Amino acid sequence: MRALKKTSDFIASYKLSCILFLLLMVLTYLGTMNQVQEGLYQSQQKYFESLFLVHWAFGVVPIPLPGGYLVMIVTFINLTWGAILRAWRGLSHLGILIAHIGVLVLFAGSFVTYMYSTDGHMALYEQQTSNEFESSYEWEIGVRDVVAQGAATEYVIPQDDFVKLTGAKSRIFRFSALPFDLTIHGYAPNAVLRAAAQGETAVDGRVLEVRPLDREWEQNMAGAYATLTAKQGDVKLEKVLWTGTDTPAIAAIDGKQYRLELRKRRWQLPFSIRLDKFVRKLHPGTNTPSEFTSDVTKTEEGLSQQVKITMNEPLRHRGYTFYQSSWGPPNAGPNDRLYSVFAVVKNPTDQVPLYSCIITTAGLILHFLQKLIGYLRKERAKRS
Amino acid sequence: MIGSVALGVFLLTGLAADTSTAPPAWDRQTVALFRTLPVQEAGRVKPLDTYASFKLLKFRGRRSCPGLSGKSLSPMEWLMDCLFRPESAKQYNMFRVDNAEVIVAIGVPAKKKRDYYSYNELLPGRAKLLELGHLYMRKEDKDRSVVESELLNLAMNLREFEEITAFPDFVRHPLPLGDSATLSALFPGKTECRLSELLGKAPQIFSAYLELQHNAAGKEQEQQLLAKFLKGLERMAGDSTALALFPPAAGAESDEWMSPGSMVERAFSGEPLPSNQVELLGSFEELVAAAGEPVAFQQRAAAFHGVVAGLAAARGEYRNVPLEVAFYRLQFFYYALTLYVLSFLLLACSWMRPRSSWLYGSTWVSIFVPTLLLTIGIILRCIIRERPPVTTLYETILFVTAVAVAVALFMEWVNRQGVALAIASILGVVGMFLANKYEAREGADTMVSMVAVLNTNFWLATHVTTITIGYAAGLLSGGLAHIFVIGKLLGLRRQDPEFYRGLSRMVYGGLCFALLFSIVGTVLGGIWANESWGRFWGWDPKENGALLIVLWQLAILHARLGGIVRDFGVNLAAVFGGVVVAFSWFGVNMLGVGLHSYGFANGAYTALISFYAFELLIVLLGGIAWFRERTETA
DSSP assignment of A221-265: --EEEEEEEESSSS-EEEEEEETT-SSPEEEEETTEEEEEEEEEE
Give the distance from residue A235's alpha carbon to the nearest chain B alpha carbon, in angstroms: 48
- Percent composition of chain A: helix, strand, coil (DSSP 3-state, to 5): 35, 40, 25
Domain shared by B161 and B197, yes or no: no
Q: Closest Cα to residue A131, out of A360, A301, A358, A323?
A: A301
Number of Cβ atoms within 10 Å of the Cβ of B71: 10
Burial status of residue B563 (CB atoms within 10 A of its CB: 0-12, 13-18, 19 or more):
exposed
pLDDT at B599 over 80: no
Domain shared by A99 and A172, yes or no: no
Residue where a domain stops, chosen among A238, A266, A294:
A266
Q: Which of A119, A354, A356 faces B535 most closely, judged by CB atoms?
A: A119
Rounded to a whole number of angstroms, the distance between the first and last alpha carbons of chain A is 52
Band the pLDDT of B10: cuts 50, 70, 90.
very low
Structural contact between residues B42 and B449, judged by C-beta atoms closer than 8 angstroms: yes
More confident: A340 or A288: A340
pLDDT at B601 over 70: no
Give the distance from residue B108's alpha carbon to the nearest chain A alpha carbon, in angstroms: 36
pLDDT at A246 over 90: no
**Does residue B373 lie in a domain region?**
yes
pLDDT of residue A150: 58
**Separation of alpha carbons A366 and A355, rounded Å:** 17
- Considering B214-228, B470-484, B493-507, the range whose residues carry the highest mean pLDDT is B470-484
Domain shared by B440 and B472, yes or no: no
Mean pLDDT of the B514-535 span: 91
The conformation of residue A322, written as its DSSP 8-state character, comes to E
Domain tally for chain A? 3
Q: What percent of chain B has pLDDT over 90?
A: 70
Domain shared by B76 and B164, yes or no: yes
pLDDT at B338 over 90: yes
Domain that holds residue A299: 119-131+268-346
Domain shared by A331 and A357, yes or no: no
pLDDT of residue B19: 46
Tens digits of residue pLDDT in A41-83: 999 999 999 999 999 998 899 999 999 999 999 999 999 999 8
Supply the mean pLDDT for chain B. Answer: 90
Q: Which of B43, B257, B455 faces A312 most closely, judged by CB atoms?
A: B455
The H or E element spanning position B296 is helix B294-314
Chain B residues whose beta carbon lies within 8 Å of the beta carbon of residue A348: none
A324 forms beta bridges with A342
Domain shared by A214 and A252, yes or no: yes
Give the distance from residue B148's alpha carbon to the nearest chain A alpha carbon, in angstroms: 24
Chain A residues 105-164 with a CB less than 8 Å from chain B: 106, 110, 113, 119
Q: Which residues contact B79 (CB under 8 A, 6 or more apart)?
A: B34, B48, B51, B52, B55, B56, B164
Domain shared by B472 and B617, yes or no: yes
Tens digits of residue pLDDT in B579-591: 999 999 988 888 8
**Does residue B135 lie in a domain region?**
yes
- CA closest to A25 among chain B residues: B548
Structural contact between residues A274 and A126, judged by C-beta atoms closer than 8 angstroms: no
The conformation of residue A92, written as its DSSP 8-state character, comes to G
A133 forms beta bridges with A267
**Does residue B455 lie in a domain region?**
no
**Separation of alpha carbons B555 and B566, rounded Å:** 13
Domain shared by A291 and A331, yes or no: yes
Yes or no, beta carbons of A314 and B534 under 8 Å apart: yes
**Does residue B345 lie in a domain region?**
yes
**Does residue B118 lie in a domain region?**
yes
Yes or no, beta carbons of A106 and B513 under 8 Å apart: no
**Separation of alpha carbons B581 and B473, rounded Å:** 10
**Does residue B479 lie in a domain region?**
yes
**Separation of alpha carbons B92 and B74, rounded Å:** 13
Structural contact between residues A265 and A159, judged by C-beta atoms closer than 8 angstroms: yes
The conformation of residue B389, written as its DSSP 8-state character, comes to S
Angle (deg, nearest 10), helices A14-43 and B541-561: 170
Domain shared by B18 and B150, yes or no: yes
Domain that holds residue B370: 331-449
**Does residue B456 lie in a domain region?**
no
Domain shared by B205 and B261, yes or no: yes
Chain A residues whose beta carbon lies within 8 Å of the beta carbon of residue B594: 35, 40
Task: Average the pLDDT over each of A155-169, B580-594, B614-628 and give the range with the smallest value.
Answer: B580-594
Mean pLDDT of the A140-153 span: 78
Q: Closest Cα to residue B526, out of A356, A345, A339, A183?
A: A356
Domain shared by B535 and B617, yes or no: yes
Q: Which of A22, A325, A361 faces B520 most closely, judged by CB atoms?
A: A361
pLDDT at B89 over 70: yes
- Percent composition of chain B: helix, strand, coil (DSSP 3-state, to 5): 70, 5, 25
- CA closest to B463 among chain A residues: A357
Number of Cβ atoms within 10 Å of the Cβ of A280: 15
Q: Closest Cα to residue A262, out of A278, A250, A249, A277?
A: A249
Yes or no, beta carbons of B452 and A379 under 8 Å apart: no
Residue where a domain stops, chosen among A266, A292, A313:
A266
Domain shared by B108 and B196, yes or no: no
Tens digits of residue pLDDT in A250-281: 999 888 889 999 999 999 999 999 999 999 88
Tens digits of residue pLDDT in A306-327: 999 998 889 999 999 999 988 8
Give the distance from residue B216's alpha carbon to the nearest chain A alpha carbon, in angstroms: 30
pLDDT of residue A216: 84
ipTM given for this complex: 0.88
**Separation of alpha carbons B427 and B416, rounded Å:** 18
Q: Which of A17, A28, A357 faces B547 most closely, judged by CB atoms?
A: A28
Distance from chain centroid for Cα B32: 22
Q: Closest Cα to residue A275, out of A294, A292, A303?
A: A294
Domain shared by B290 and B213, yes or no: yes
pLDDT at B436 over 50: yes
The H or E element spanning position A289 is strand A289-300
Rounded (5°) CA angle B133-B137-B141? 125
Give the distance from residue A206's alpha carbon to the nearest chain B alpha carbon, in angstroms: 36
Tens digits of residue pLDDT in A168-216: 899 999 999 889 999 999 999 999 999 988 888 888 889 999 999 988 8
The conformation of residue B10, written as its DSSP 8-state character, comes to I
pLDDT at A84 over 80: yes
Domain tally for chain B? 4
Chain A residues 288-347 with a CB less than 8 Å from chain B: 288-292, 311-312, 314, 321, 323, 325, 343-345, 347
Interface with B, mutate which of A28, A38, A41, A114 (most B CBs under 10 A):
A28
Contacts 24+ apart (CB under 8 A), B455-460: B455/A290, B455/A291, B455/A311, B455/A312, B456/A311, B456/A312, B457/B387, B457/B388, B459/A312, B459/B524, B459/B528, B459/B531, B460/B387, B460/B388, B460/B390, B460/B391
pLDDT of residue B20: 52
Yes or no, beta carbons of B452 and A282 under 8 Å apart: no
Chain B residues whose beta carbon lies within 8 Å of the beta carbon of residue A325: 533-534
Distance from chain centroid for Cα B570: 38
Structural contact between residues A314 and A307, judged by C-beta atoms closer than 8 angstroms: no
Interface with A, mutate which of B243, B417, B579, B593 (most A CBs under 10 A):
B593
Domain shared by A98 and A179, yes or no: no
**Separation of alpha carbons A80 and A285, rounded Å:** 55
pLDDT of residue B4: 43
Yes or no, beta carbons of B558 and A25 under 8 Å apart: no
Cα dist. B427→B336, B341, B343, B371 in Å? 12, 10, 11, 11
**Does residue B180 lie in a domain region?**
no
Residue where a domain stops, chosen among B118, B142, B172:
B172
**Separation of alpha carbons A143 and B40, rounded Å:** 57
Chain B residues whose beta carbon lies within 8 Å of the beta carbon of residue A22: 551, 555
| pTM of the model as a whole | 0.89
- CA closest to B521 among chain A residues: A357
- Give the SS3 label for residue A270: strand
Band the pLDDT of B82: cuts 50, 70, 90.
very high
pLDDT at A126 over 80: yes
pLDDT of residue B7: 39
Task: Average the pLDDT over each of A364-368, B218-222, B384-388, B560-564 and give the range with the smallest value.
Answer: B218-222
Mean pLDDT of the B368-372 span: 97
Yes or no, beta carbons of A345 and B554 under 8 Å apart: no
- Give the SS3 label for residue B177: coil
**Separation of alpha carbons A357 and A106, rounded Å:** 8
- CA closest to A109 among chain B residues: B536
Q: Which of A284, A343, A353 faces B256 most closely, judged by CB atoms?
A: A284
Sign of CA dihedral A340, A346, A351, A353: negative
Band the pLDDT of B18: cuts 50, 70, 90.
very low
Residue B620, amino acid: L
pLDDT of residue B597: 52
Q: What percent of chain B has pLDDT over 70?
A: 95
Mark residue A285 as left, alpha or beta (left: phi above 0; alpha: psi -120 to 50; beta: remaining). left
Q: Is A36 in CB contact (< 8 Å) with chain B? A: yes
More confident: B18 or A171: A171
Mean pLDDT of the B497-510 span: 93
Q: What percent of chain A has pLDDT over 90?
A: 64
Structural contact between residues A82 and A12, judged by C-beta atoms closer than 8 angstroms: yes
Mean pLDDT of the B359-363 span: 91
Q: Closest Cα to residue A125, out of A336, A300, A344, A343?
A: A336
Structural contact between residues A72 and A59, judged by C-beta atoms closer than 8 angstroms: no
Yes or no, beta carbons of B591 and A35 under 8 Å apart: yes
Burial status of residue A116 (CB atoms within 10 A of its CB: 0-12, 13-18, 19 or more):
exposed
Structural contact between residues A323 and A309, judged by C-beta atoms closer than 8 angstroms: yes
Number of Cβ atoms within 10 Å of the Cβ of A118: 14
Yes or no, beta carbons of A286 and B537 under 8 Å apart: no
- CA closest to A382 among chain B residues: B415
Q: Is A252 in CB contact (< 8 Å) with chain B? A: no
Chain B residues whose beta carbon lies within 8 Å of the beta carbon of residue A357: 520, 523-524, 527
More confident: B167 or A214: B167
Q: Which of A25, A35, A375 faces B509 most closely, judged by CB atoms?
A: A375
- CA closest to A361 among chain B residues: B520
Dihedral through CA B248, CA B252, CA B253, CA B255, nearest 10? 40
Domain shared by B223 and B358, yes or no: no
Dihedral through CA A107, CA A109, CA A112, CA A117, nearest 10? -130
The H or E element spanning position A303 is strand A303-310
**Separation of alpha carbons A155 and B225, rounded Å:** 70
Q: Is A44 in CB contact (< 8 Å) with chain B? A: yes
Domain shared by A127 and A141, yes or no: no
Give the distance from residue B560's alpha carbon to the nearest chain A alpha carbon, in angstroms: 9
Residue A181, amino acid: D
Residue where a domain stops, chosen among A206, A240, A266:
A266
Band the pLDDT of A148: cuts 50, 70, 90.
low
**Separation of alpha carbons B546 and B512, rounded Å:** 16
Structural contact between residues B201 and B194, judged by C-beta atoms closer than 8 angstroms: no
Rounded (5°) CA angle B458-B460-B462? 70
Rg (CA), chain A: 27
Q: Closest Cα to residue B546, out of B571, B569, B573, B526?
A: B526
Residue B425, amino acid: S
Mean pLDDT of the B146-152 span: 91
Peptide bond into A158 cis (omega under 30): no
Chain A residues whose beta carbon lies within 8 Å of the beta carbon of residue B537: 110
Chain A residues whose beta carbon lies within 8 Å of the beta carbon of residue B530: 350, 353
Domain shared by A174 and A252, yes or no: yes
Structural contact between residues B288 and B172, judged by C-beta atoms closer than 8 angstroms: yes
Give the distance from residue B294's alpha carbon to the nearest chain A alpha carbon, in angstroms: 33
Structural contact between residues B491 and B499, judged by C-beta atoms closer than 8 angstroms: no
pLDDT of residue B578: 97
- CA closest to B542 among chain A residues: A32
Interface with A, mutate which of B451, B523, B542 (most A CBs under 10 A):
B523
**Separation of alpha carbons A340 and A325, rounded Å:** 8
Yes or no, beta carbons of B414 and A347 under 8 Å apart: no
Band the pLDDT of A128: cuts 50, 70, 90.
very high
pLDDT of residue B51: 97
pLDDT at B425 over 60: yes
Domain shared by A247 and A275, yes or no: no
The conformation of residue B248, written as its DSSP 8-state character, comes to P
Tens digits of residue pLDDT in B258-300: 999 999 998 888 888 888 889 999 999 999 999 989 999 999 9
Domain shared by A360 and A335, yes or no: no
pLDDT at B242 over 90: yes
Domain shared by A171 and A292, yes or no: no
Give the distance from residue A368's alpha carbon to the nearest chain B alpha carbon, in angstroms: 7
Domain shared by B89 and B164, yes or no: yes
pLDDT of residue A89: 76
Domain shared by B304 and B410, yes or no: no
Mean pLDDT of the B586-615 span: 76
